[in-house]
Amino acid sequence: MINKYLDIGSILVAIVTLVLFGAALLVKGLTHDLFLEAGVFLVSVKIMATAYKHSLAVRQLNEKLDKILVLLDQKGA
């Protein structure tokens, strides 16, 4: 179901970012630099959430347009 709304690129970016975040946690430990890594991860999550919302909006818009086209075809026939 997640592939329906997120493309493979977004999923790969999330996985790579999560792996790098984990690596930074292991290498740096709980230091100030961890906040920077967490910020980068959160930006990636925010971009994916925005892409998901955009995908839902486009899907709803397409459904409405399809209904309008059906009504126009019925009126023209």
pLDDT digits (tens, 9 = 90+) for 20-74: 878 877 887 777 677 777 787 788 788 888 888 888 899 999 999 999 999 999 9
Which CA distances in Å does 57 have to 22, 26, 62?
33, 39, 9
The confidence score (pLDDT) of residue 70 equals 94
Look up tokens 């959160």; give the residue. 42
**In the structure, what pLDDT confidence band is assigned to residue 7 with cuts at 50, 70 and 90?**
confident
Q: Which domain holds residue 42?
A: 2-76
Q: How far is CA 8 from CA 13, 14, 48, 52, 71, in A?
A: 9, 10, 11, 13, 36
Rounded distance between C-alpha atoms, residue 65 and residue 63, angstroms: 5
| pLDDT band, residue 5 (cuts 50/70/90) | low
Instruction: Look up the pTM and report it.
Output: 0.60
- State residue 2's pLDDT score: 55
